[in-house]
Structure 1
């Protein structure tokens, strides 16, 4: 990545266009975006994968493992994104988010529950007094939007999708970028859509739902594209960059997440502003999740191991973590019958 000698100090109050102008130092045009993004250094794929593999070999044991398991739970976006979702399923998901392990009152809660936009009112109602900001011990409601998971819709439809979810009480919006436009090199269109969705996240009281920008890295084909898309999403105002919808394979991988963490680290060095990262899809075991914790700590820093800066998008991960916690308490595996079904 091209380095600047001075730090560009940004505040979260800056509009996306101002944020981009401060960093690009040029006119905010398609040509300017293309010049900047194409000027980013290429990714050393071999080096990236070797470092990810090395980080994945680190082991965490005893009390540190218990801390790691509890941390994973606090970072989970417990997710249900199926066409067959019902109000009852969302209520059950909320109950599990509040009390992941009914046998252990010291366990939980998770960071958020993630649902389709039309399920937001049910999620908010089911959480009740537990609904709120994760960094204050509450549980957020995240809604996927912008014609998730394909993103194949007109901008007015995407903005209406977002507006409805925010009005219904969503604390966070997980949007998808137009991968076709990005792969065609139409960075300005992708930038403008993210900016428009970011503005739609603003509520009448002046507050704003947090915006997670899903890159769908499995469709971006190269590490270079993942790095460019990460920078583009942050420039356009994303509060988080997220790997995947969970509907495309491959979804989250450790090398891709490492690369995205390097981007937010470099952004922080450049601007003093912290951006979150959310790997989603395919992370099913506590063993794998611990590898991500190590990667976060070793790349962006331990301060990123907080719900407002790192999340796991998962549905089945929580059960494995709960079984591992029970094993540490009882000395034996209790099995899946001792945790609730998602």
Structure 2
């Protein structure tokens, strides 16, 4: 399935066209965003997390969550066989129940893109590839662009890039902006189409909620199709308050520009209960427009197994044995 219509790099509209004209104007805009009420944000996220979803609504939400998963393997020990097995699982999550939906995407390293693409042939499952020297991003820009171009040439439908957190935290916002724009251009194919771009902020390293808000707007202004919390490779990954803050940012961005941006929390989302909390936040903050894998994704590896077990419990009234789901 396609994620989003391509967002032109650096062309936000809504009176924001000149925001990135200089370092000074970009800094003025980002630091002029409203400060985050941390207590209020955390209280709102906690309140939404207490909402319960029952019976028919829960069955629908579980299937929706499955369809939103970017099923991920990003390990140094990844093999072509492991990636093929993951693709098989993504295509047919529950071999005993063909009504179980497919996942949205398989997310792999660039050297595994061709393998995943071949394994998913004939399906609408996307191949997402991390790039730009994921997860740290500590290489020169030409290397990041080559990394991106290689993944796109291999068949990647989506690119998950990481921002330069050092540059961002040093206040070099225009450098970060220009890098996102350059990676966006590297996502273009020879036929004029482009892979969709997810921009990872590594929110666990951004130190403050205000920085998360600034990074969200910076990424969207630069042309992100999705904004993503985390790599899953640091101590603090997706959290409900941070994700809520990013949901509010995309809501406000669309109100101002008319451009809709997707959101992807990643890392640490392991249970059906976790997923339900995030879906409630999406519904309460953004409404039905974002309740689709075109606009909201879960970056996860183990979440699918728990969703499948809960799905079977709703269907049969009992949990399966430990061999019901495959081990990632």
Q: Taking structure 2 as the reference length, what is the TM-score of the superposition?
A: 0.97
Q: C-alpha distance in 1, partners of 2:218/2:303?
A: 30
Q: C-alpha distance in 2, partners of 1:43/1:90?
A: 40
Match in the other structure for 1:70: 63
Match in the other structure for 1:337: 323
Structure 1 vs Structure 2 CA RMSD = 1.4
Q: In 2 relative to 1, CA 20–184 (structure 1 residues): closer, same or farther, beyond 3 Å?
A: farther
Q: C-alpha distance in 1, partners of 2:12/2:258?
A: 12
Q: CA contact under 8 A between 1:79 and 1:114: conserved in structure 2?
A: yes
Match in the other structure for 1:86: 79
Match in the other structure for 1:277: 263
Match in the other structure for 1:311: 297
Deviations 1:78-134 (A, max 9, x none): 00000000000000000000000001010020000000000000000111111xxxx
Q: C-alpha distance in 2, partners of 1:13/1:337?
A: 41
Secondary structure, in 3 states, of the residue corresponding to 1:247?
A: coil
Q: CA contact under 8 A between 1:20 and 1:28: conserved in structure 2?
A: no
Q: How many residues align?
A: 325
Q: Taking structure 1 as the reference length, what is the TM-score of the superposition?
A: 0.93
Match in the other structure for 1:253: 239
Q: CA deviation at 1:12?
A: 6.1
Structure 1: which 5+ runs fail to align?
1-10, 131-137
Q: C-alpha distance in 2, partners of 1:330/1:12?
A: 39
Does 2:114 correspond to 1:128? no
Q: C-alpha distance in 2, partners of 1:14/1:164?
A: 21
Alignment of 1:69-218 (within 5 A): 69-130=62-123, 138-218=124-204
Q: C-alpha distance in 2, partners of 1:41/1:303?
A: 25
- Given candidates 24, 28, 47, the residue that maps to 2:21 is 28
Q: C-alpha distance in 2, partners of 1:17/1:118?
A: 29
Q: CA contact under 8 A between 2:113 and 2:151: conserved in structure 1?
A: yes
Q: C-alpha distance in 1, partners of 2:322/2:307?
A: 11
Structure 2: which 5+ runs fail to align?
none
Q: C-alpha distance in 2, partners of 1:324/1:282?
A: 18
Secondary structure, in 3 states, of the residue corresponding to 1:19?
A: coil
Match in the other structure for 1:40: 33
Secondary structure, in 3 states, of the residue corresponding to 1:33?
A: helix
- Given candidates 48, 52, 56, the residue that maps to 1:55 is 48
Q: CA deviation at 1:21?
A: 8.9
Q: C-alpha distance in 1, partners of 2:13/2:205?
A: 25
Deviations 1:216-237 (A, max 9, x none): 0000010000000000000000
Q: CA deviation at 1:25?
A: 4.1
Q: CA deviation at 1:308?
A: 1.4
Q: C-alpha distance in 2, partners of 1:226/1:289?
A: 21
Match in the other structure for 2:208: 222
Match in the other structure for 1:6: none
Q: In 2 relative to 1, CA 182–317 (structure 1 residues): closer, same or farther, beyond 3 Å?
A: same
Q: CA contact under 8 A between 2:20 and 2:174: conserved in structure 1?
A: no
Deviations 1:280-325 (A, max 9, x none): 0000000110000000000011210111100000000000000001
Secondary structure, in 3 states, of the residue corresponding to 1:158?
A: helix
